[in-house]
Amino acid sequence: MKTIAALSFASIVAVATPRAQESKPVPKDSVRVSIPGCTKGYIFTVGHRTADQPGSVDMPEGIHLRMNGPKKMIAEIKAHEGSMIEITGLMKKGQYGQDGVGIGGGVRVMPGTTSPGSRPSYSTAGQNFIDVEGWRIALGSCPSR
C-alpha cells in the first residue's frame, strides 16, 4: 500500500514540475535577434550597441522596427518607454539591409530611374517588422526628444 502511495506521489510531482520554457523553432526564412534600443508606442528604435551589450545582429543605430507581439507584452514594453531595453524576436532574413547612402537623421538617398521629361518618382522604404518574443531592461538611456 505504501508503495502505491509513493508511486502516485512521485508521478504527481513529476507531472507538476515546471519545465524550462522552450523557445519556438525559427522558420527557415527568419532569424532570431536580440537588439538594444528604445520604444515609442509600437515603434522600436535601435540604440547604440556597447561592448557589454552588443546584441546578436549588426543593425545600424537609428533603424525603426514595428513591434508585433501579444498585447500584454507590448503593454509591458510601453510602460518602459524612455528606458533602454533589449528585445528578442524573429525577423525575416535580409529585412534590415539598407539600400542607398545614409545622410543623417534616418534619411537615405537611393538611386532611381526617370525618363527624360518625366517627373521624379519617390519611394519609401518598407517598414521593418519584428515579432517580439521577450524583452529585458538594458543599461543606458534613451535620447530625449
Distance CA 50, CA 70 (A): 29
Kindly report, residue by residue over 3-55, the tens digit of the pLDDT.
554 445 444 444 443 333 456 788 888 899 999 999 999 999 998 776 665 55
Beta bridge partners of residue 32, listed in sequence order: 90
Show the domains of the chain with their CATH numbers. Answer: 27-98+126-145 (2.40.50)
pLDDT tens, residue by residue, 50-100: 666 555 567 788 889 999 999 999 999 999 998 999 999 999 887 765 555
Predicted TM-score (pTM) of the model is 0.63
